[in-house]
Each structure stands twice: as C-alpha cells, then as structure tokens.
Amino acid sequence: MFFFFWLASVLVARQVQAPITALAFTPGGGQAVCGSQAGLKLVSWPDLKEASFPATQLAHINALSFAPDHSVLLVGGGISGEWGGVEIFSWPQLKKLHFLKAHKDLVNGLAWSPDSQRFFTASSDGTCAVIPWKPGTEPAVSATYQGHSRPVLSIVFLQDCNRSLSAGVDQTLQLWDPPACKLERTLDNHLKAVNDLAVKPAGVINSAPVMVASVSEDRTVRLWQPRLGRLVRFTRMQSVPRVVVWAAGGESLTVGLNNSEVHWLDAESPSLATLRVWDAKLGRIHSIAMHPKDGRVLVGGEAGLAVSPMQK
C-alpha cells in the first residue's frame, strides 16, 4: 500500500511540474525572473534560491523583457486561443503598473526599442503590435503588423535600421517598419517554423549591418544580415534548436535543443562549428538566458532550471 501511495505522489508531482518557458536576468545579474504556467518567481544567481514575485493574471508565460533603462519588466503570455496580454511591473519595486490585452491569442515574444519609449509584441494570432511606453500613462496598441500568415513566435528590434524583425510558424523572417507596419523584406530560407531570434549585441555592431541568429524546426541555426536580405551562414543540428542567445562579445551563440542539450557555436566560423556541448538534463529546453557578467547561461526546460558549468 505504501508503494502505491508513493508512486501516486511521484506521478502527481511530475504532472504539476511546469516547464520553465521564459527567463530574464535582472539588471546587474544578481537574480533571474522565471516564468511558467505556475506563475512567476525570482531566483538568486547562481544558487537558484527562490524568492516571491507578485501574482500574475497570465495562465501561460512565454516572454520576459526588461526595458533598456531598467525601469520596468514586461511579462507576456495569456490564455491559449482566447487572448494575449502584457503585464508591466516596476523594477526593482515589483509593483504591477499595468495589464494590457493586446492580442486574440498568446503573446510569444517581446522586444524594446533602445530608448525604452516603445515595445513590440509577437502573437499566436499571427500579428505583431507596436505599443508606445511612457511612465505614468496607460499603454495601448498604436499599430498592428499583419504580414504573417500563421502564429508569430519571436520578435526583435534592429537598431541599425530602426526596423522590427519577426518570425514564426509560416517559416519566414519578416523585416517591417514599425510606424507604418509595412513589410520591407521577407527572408524565407527556413523550411519549417522559426522558433526564436536573437540580435548580436549592440556593442559589437560598429558600422557593419546588424547580425541576427534564427533557430528553426528544420534543425538549422542561421545567421542573417536582415537589412541586406543576406543569409550569412548556417549549420544543421542533430536535434531541433528551440532557443538561442549571443555571448556578450558576439563571438559565439548558445543554443538550447529539444534533446536537453545546450550547444555553444563559433559565430565567426564558416560552418558555425560547435565549441562545446552540455547536457542540461532537463528534457526539452524552452528558455535560455546569458548572464551579463560571468558568461554562464541559465536554462529552463521541462524539468526546471539548470546553470551551465564554467568554461575551463
């Protein structure tokens, strides 16, 4: 009897384990915010001790983003098939300032303009929204981009050309003008859904066009110069890459895969050569964040959180 009670307890515990679907380091990197269907929590770095976070109205949390001026945190998600929203919390006070329903389905991606005066959302309803941000005023959607034919999974802002780049299930990356919500260029080399985008850190752009990494269900990692419409290089992975981040210096990429592995890729090599591999032992990787100082990554997956080992 005891064995069956224990087994039932284990099964229940596994059922309620919520995959970590969104991560963001706090300014300075002393903590990280984690999002899942179980809500939001703060963890210390690198020991991952948990601290409380205000309650959320979002049943699913898919994206987290601090404003460049570090004044607020955006939390994106919603209820699948019903609505997508953004919660705005002050930082570091953690006071909920606003709740905005911006879409008819989940918010999957968030991005800021460098001046912290507007942010952008990507949604499963197939649209992206432009939302001006001014402290003390109620945020509202000012424009909607409707160029994608299927759910949009990721969005970034390109500082070199003041354009947004979004990607999703329709296999395309689309470069568009935020004020006019007008399509300027489509990049369609991927053969399946594009899961994530990441922009090479601004400090290493210089005069060269911005570089963007994309990862797709077609098992490829690709580097682009979107303003030029140029595919720079790509590599094929053994498992589907789900999330991607750049190293602070832009010399490498870190990619989280469906098979629980995390791969570091040489962004400068013609073949995006693999530098090292780490098995996070979390099942499918859903989220990843690069620590701003020590070079390690925090990974979120089916079985919780893990911190990558220091590179020798």
- The answer to whether residue 275 sits within a structural domain is yes
Which amino acid is present at 236?
R
Q: How confident is the model at residue 12 (pLDDT cuts 50, 70, 90)?
A: very low
Q: Is 285 domain-assigned?
A: no
Please state the rounded mean pLDDT for residues 265-292: 97
Given a cut of 90, is residue 175 above it in pLDDT?
yes
For residue 185, the enclosing domain spans: 147-279
Write out pLDDT tens, residues 195-229: 999 999 976 445 678 999 999 999 999 999 999 99
| Portion of the chain with pLDDT greater than 90, in percent | 88
Which secondary structure element, helix H or strand E, spans residue 102, and what is its range? strand 96-103
Contact 257, 278 (CB under 8 A): no
Does a structural domain hold residue 208?
A: yes
Q: Is 50 exceeded by the pLDDT of residue 18?
A: yes
For the stretch 259-278, pLDDT in tens is 999 999 999 999 999 999 99
CATH code, domain carrying 163: 2.130.10.10
- The residues that bridge with 254 in the sheet, in sequence order, are 245, 264
Helix (H, G, I), strand (E, B) or coil at 266: strand
Q: Establish if 229 belongs to a structural domain.
A: yes
pLDDT score, position 7:
37
- Which amino acid, residue 83? W
Of 267, 276, 272, 268, give the one whose Cα is nearest residue 308: 276
Q: For the residues 169-179, what does the mean pLDDT come to?
A: 97
* Residue 269, in any domain of the structure: yes
* Token pair belonging to 123: 């949604």
How many structural domains is the chain composed of? 1
pLDDT score of 16 more than 80: no
Mean pLDDT to the nearest integer, 98-126: 98
Q: Is residue 155 part of a domain?
A: yes
Q: Would residue 75 count as lying in a domain?
A: no
What is the pLDDT at residue 310?
Answer: 85
